Amino acid sequence: MLSIPESTIPESTNPESTTSPGICRICSAHCGVLATVTDGRLTKVTGDPDNPMFLGYTCAKGRALPEIHNNPARLLHSQKRQPDGTYAPVESERAMDEIADRLRDLIEQHGPRSVAMYLGTNGLPYPASPLMANAFLRGIESPMFFTANTIDQPGKQIALAAHGHWLGGDINFNEADSWMLVGTNPIVSKAIGIPGQNPAQRIKDAIGRGMKLIVIDPRRSQTAARAAIHIQPRPGEDVPILAAMINLIIRENLCDTEFLEPNVVGFDKLAEAVSAFTPEYVAERADIPAQQLIDAAHLFATYGTRPGMVNCGTGANFAMHGSLLEYLALCLTTICGRWQRAGEPVTRPNTLMPAYTAKAQALAPYEGWGYGEQLRVRGLTDTVSGMPTAALADEILLEGEGQVKALICIGGNPMAAWPDQRKTQRAMETLDLLVTLDTEMSLTSRLADYVIAPMMQMETPAMTQGSELIKYYAAGTGIPAAYAQYAPRLVAPPESSDLVEEWKFFLGLAKRMDLTLFFVNFFGGGGGRYMESPPIVLTMDRNTDLTTEELFAEMCATARIPLDEVSSHPHGKIFDVEAMVEDADADCEARLDIGNDHLLSDLAATLAEDFRSARNNTEFPYRLIPRRHANFMNSSGTGLAKLHRGKPYNPAYMHPDTIAALGLRNGDAVTIASPHDSIPAVLEADDTLRADVIAMHHAFGGLTTEDAEFRSRGSNVGRLVPTDIEYDTITGLPRQGNIPVSVTACGV
């Protein structure tokens, strides 16, 4: 077995203070940082100027890690719900004993399907935890594994399955002459399109060398403000806009026919499907200048000698038709030939993952949905993007065979993040067993039977393998270099605490339930259906006794750069890897498909929509869109003063002229109502928005009985969203953006 020494807290000639390089894992960027530990406490986190990828950059969230670690509300002991509804500390070993017993009883009585698991975005800091959690669920033979992916941007994986992968990989943003971003603000989200390693600087450098950025967004975001062309449409019209661009590029013969002929099928189907989306029609529908749309299409298709790609974000995916939107983005990229070719460098060569040979050829489309576990509601199934999380509350509430009776939440907060908050709360309260792994008593933990207190970021070792892995789940993501970093544990858990590493919690349950777990480290997207290398499989049973460091070594056993070598560069390193895209195999017959029947039928349905009636809806005249917060990763840290800076709520942003026309003022309390439900909120003027748009941050608010506290907790936007009326028929993702709403004074 490969291994690296179990990390110890670093020593220093000054026993009171030590500063060491580390990795911030609040988001997928995995910024290299410097962490200062004073008298056993994390006291300061800054960017690491000696990190070759980040060059001293970090964000407000990363700099607040000391406050997050030392939060007075942090749980230092696991909690058990008492008969009177209060909570009392419980030893972690005892909690595992009791939880294992209850799970065993539920499985015996109701079957394995009665146990479900939800993995949220806060699983990112602990790369072994999601894999071990999944191994545990497979160990009890339950198919009910859900993640945050299917309530965010599941269309990315659906589109890739329908379109196929280009095995030469993405074009490098740092070299491209143009780029298009749809409904995303990567300067804040650090997720899609622009590399997340200091995205603001990446944009500045790109524009400085002549790049032309196209942004489609109802808000003049920080990213849109830097665009050569900013199209500011009515929300929900991104699909027609991309269809019009594709139509224009095809009609004016601006496609890369040299690329299309040997590599692509479905061109005629796509051309027919977009033919009705003329610039004039879409300009009326999206309320944008037709010439601006034409200019954007021409710029994207023809500008520069090294044109770039198109990427879509959460905002655009939330507005319905997310799978279709992502598919059209791939189609637009493909008809313009925007993929790396033979002889060009590989943009994202693996480092802590296995080496692979990139080739200038397609991997054909594969089955993306309609297989595996069949849910009992809305005809939904398992997909390449995972099980449809928006249906999990129904699976808990719907009685009968197959009803979910137990839920384990790891790194997630369903009460803040899931759509239809009232239904979600009913579901959480219906469960026979709810277990959360949480650093504090979040909204969901306040309803749980057991809350397992885990270690935090700097108390566990770290590596950047997960930041590499994300490239398989969407074009335009991942690390654009052969970069890697490993960091040991930098601070000990607080004295007298009883904290569990999350992966060890699941192994502990397995030992008590006499399970043998097969830990599978997938190197590939599509839920493992598209893989460059065979997965690493580790067998773990009651006799397994690994440290996290040893497990990391096993996870990286086939890495291009050995983990021992990576760990010898504590500030991280961009390794000298000369990976080039090779020629296609002589016998390759695979083709990318830009004529998928299912998704293009959705485009026909979009064309048939009565957009004029929707625009003239006097009962709900405004459209609510999501907005990322620079200081928060979903619901994490919203109670910390350093991050909320005196504003612990999520404002309802509206254009100042719209606020004035309603007879309201900045700071007024209002009721925002959708056809489904309503929430209280605080108005805030923002002239970057269209006059008919409201924008709010998600994952704020209290439980459904705590609306009176909206000025101190914020408002839960998910409450406005039903899960069973308008939804993607493949992924189950409901309309979470472009929500029709009204705004009235509420007198609070």
Cα(478)–Cα(484) distance, integer angstroms = 12
pLDDT computed for residue 564 by the predictor: 97
Check: CB of residue 35 under 8 Å from CB of residue 45.
Answer: yes
| Of 269, 270, 257, nearest in space to 331 by CA | 270
SS3 call for 259: helix
pLDDT computed for residue 426 by the predictor: 98
Is 70 exceeded by the pLDDT of residue 356? yes
Check: CB of residue 328 under 8 Å from CB of residue 600.
Answer: no
Q: What is the pLDDT of residues 554-597, one digit of tens each?
A: 999 999 999 999 999 999 999 999 999 999 999 999 999 999 99
Check: CB of residue 474 under 8 Å from CB of residue 153.
Answer: yes
Cα(513)–Cα(138) distance, integer angstroms = 13
Check: CB of residue 59 under 8 Å from CB of residue 75.
Answer: no
| Of 189, 186, 241, 315, nearest in space to 737 by CA | 315
Angle between helices 238-251 and 597-607 (to 10 degrees): 110
Cα(309)–Cα(70) distance, integer angstroms = 42
pLDDT computed for residue 122 by the predictor: 83
Which own/partner pairs from 448-451 qualify as long-range (CB within 8 Å, at least 24 positions apart)?
448/81, 448/409, 449/80, 449/81, 450/78, 450/79, 450/80, 450/81, 450/90, 450/95, 450/98, 450/99, 451/75, 451/78, 451/79, 451/87
Work out the pLDDT band at 9, boundaries 50, 70, 90.
low
Is 70 exceeded by the pLDDT of residue 739? yes
pLDDT computed for residue 220 by the predictor: 96
Which own/partner pairs from 611-618 qualify as long-range (CB within 8 Å, at least 24 positions apart)?
611/237, 611/285, 614/740, 615/234, 617/740
Q: What is the pLDDT of residues 325-346, one digit of tens each?
A: 999 999 999 999 999 999 999 9
- Residue 486 tokens, joined: 């490993």
Share of the chain above pLDDT 90, in %: 80
**CB neighbourhood size of 345 (10 A):** 15
Check: CB of residue 237 under 8 Å from CB of residue 321.
Answer: no
Domains of the chain in sequence order? 79-149+388-452 (3.40.50.740), 171-338 (3.40.228.10), 616-745 (2.40.40.20)
Q: What is the full DSSP assignment across 79-99? A: EEE-TTS-EEE--HHHHHHHH
Check: CB of residue 696 under 8 Å from CB of residue 624.
Answer: yes
Per-residue DSSP letter, 582: B
Cα(232)–Cα(230) distance, integer angstroms = 6
Q: What is the pLDDT of residues 48-64, one digit of tens each?
A: 999 999 999 999 999 99
- Give whole-number Cα distances, 19 to 68, 328, 484, 489, 565, in Å: 18, 48, 20, 12, 22
Tell me what the mean pLDDT of segment 703-729 comes to: 94
Size of the chain in residues:
748
Is 70 exceeded by the pLDDT of residue 219? yes
- In angstroms and rounded to an integer, the radius of gyration of the C-alpha atoms of the chain is 25
Is 60 exceeded by the pLDDT of residue 145? yes
Q: What is the pLDDT of residues 501-530, one digit of tens each?
A: 999 999 999 999 999 998 887 644 444 455
Cα(267)–Cα(407) distance, integer angstroms = 45
Is pTM, for the whole model, over 0.85? Answer: yes
Count the helices and strands in the chain (H runs, E runs): 26, 34
Virtual CA dihedral for 469, 470, 472, 474, nearest 10 degrees?
Answer: -170
Work out the pLDDT band at 533, boundaries 50, 70, 90.
low
pLDDT computed for residue 525 by the predictor: 44
Check: CB of residue 297 under 8 Å from CB of residue 303.
Answer: no
pLDDT computed for residue 732 by the predictor: 96
Share of the chain above pLDDT 70, in %: 96
End-to-end C-alpha distance for the chain, whole angstroms: 63
Q: What is the pLDDT of residues 95-138, one digit of tens each?
A: 999 999 999 999 999 999 999 999 998 887 788 999 999 999 99
- Give whole-number Cα distances, 94 to 90, 99, 452, 624, in Å: 7, 9, 11, 46
Backbone φ and ψ of 268, nearest 5°: -65, -40
Tell me what the mean pLDDT of segment 606-619 comes to: 88
Tell me what the mean pLDDT of segment 390-413 comes to: 97
Work out the pLDDT band at 72, boundaries 50, 70, 90.
very high
Cα(11)–Cα(571) distance, integer angstroms = 17
Is 90 exceeded by the pLDDT of residue 535? no
pLDDT computed for residue 626 by the predictor: 92
Tell me what the mean pLDDT of segment 376-400 comes to: 97
pLDDT computed for residue 529 by the predictor: 53
pLDDT computed for residue 528 by the predictor: 47
**Which residue type is seen at 614?**
A
Check: CB of residue 61 under 8 Å from CB of residue 632.
Answer: yes
pLDDT computed for residue 12 by the predictor: 47
pLDDT computed for residue 649 by the predictor: 92
pLDDT computed for residue 187 by the predictor: 87
Q: What is the pLDDT of residues 220-279, one digit of tens each?
A: 999 999 999 999 999 999 999 999 999 999 999 999 999 999 999 999 999 999 999 999
pLDDT computed for residue 612 by the predictor: 87
- Residue 289 tokens, joined: 């200048």
Please state whether beta strands 592-593 and 264-265 pair in parallel, antiparallel, or not at all (unpaired).
parallel
Cα(346)–Cα(191) distance, integer angstroms = 20
- Residue 135 tokens, joined: 């191994």
Q: What angle do CA 368, 369, 370 make, to 5 degrees?
A: 145
Cα(47)–Cα(63) distance, integer angstroms = 8
Please state whether beta strands 530-531 and 524-525 pair in parallel, antiparallel, or not at all (unpaired).
antiparallel
Measured over the CA atoms of residue 143, residue 149, residue 152 and residue 153, the dihedral's sign is negative
* Burial grade of 688 (CB within 10 A; 0-12, 13-18, 19 or more): middle
pLDDT computed for residue 2 by the predictor: 45
Mean pLDDT of the chain: 92
pLDDT computed for residue 97 by the predictor: 98
Q: What angle do CA 477, 169, 599 make, to 5 degrees?
A: 75
pLDDT computed for residue 15 by the predictor: 61
Measured over the CA atoms of residue 39, residue 43, residue 48 and residue 51, the dihedral's sign is positive
pLDDT computed for residue 647 by the predictor: 86
pLDDT computed for residue 35 by the predictor: 97
Check: CB of residue 49 under 8 Å from CB of residue 55.
Answer: yes
Please state whether beta strands 622-626 and 536-540 pair in parallel, antiparallel, or not at all (unpaired).
unpaired
- Residue 114 tokens, joined: 């009665």
pLDDT computed for residue 14 by the predictor: 53
